[in-house]
Structure 1
């Protein structure tokens, strides 16, 4: 039996137009790490809103990894995350589960 390797896509969006690339990856069942470190704050908020809708529609998950980095997983990927959920919930209350 051959082991299956899943690719994780890392995207550093420069503008809102890059949100489509993230959504396409999620639709294709590929997990995405989004790094907003070099993204304008307003664009990062718009992208996060768009991706949150995509995640919801596809029954996926989104988790904050660090201050400007998020992990987006389609429904075929389970996220095990041990850090206190307060940090994500305080900044993005719509992600509470």
Structure 2
């Protein structure tokens, strides 16, 4: 099974891709973060399934919440000063 054939426009960024897939009938529990399948191998699959995947997902959530609550976040008007392109960095003055 080719993983790229599982998704519509697999190389494009779609921030709600898995949310939209879960809203289809019969797919409510298939595309969760810790659910495994041959098409979603973040935590392995089958014999090589990572047993701590639920713990890891919960810890990542705790860290994200801590960062959001503990620090003041704001957007700046200027963009990044450095431009990353492959393994090189182009510095802007």
What's the TM-score, normalizing by structure 1? 0.28
Larger radius of gyration: 2
Higher helix content, 1 or 2: 1
| Larger RCO, structures 1/2 (Cα 8 Å, 6+ apart) | 1
What's the TM-score, normalizing by structure 2? 0.29
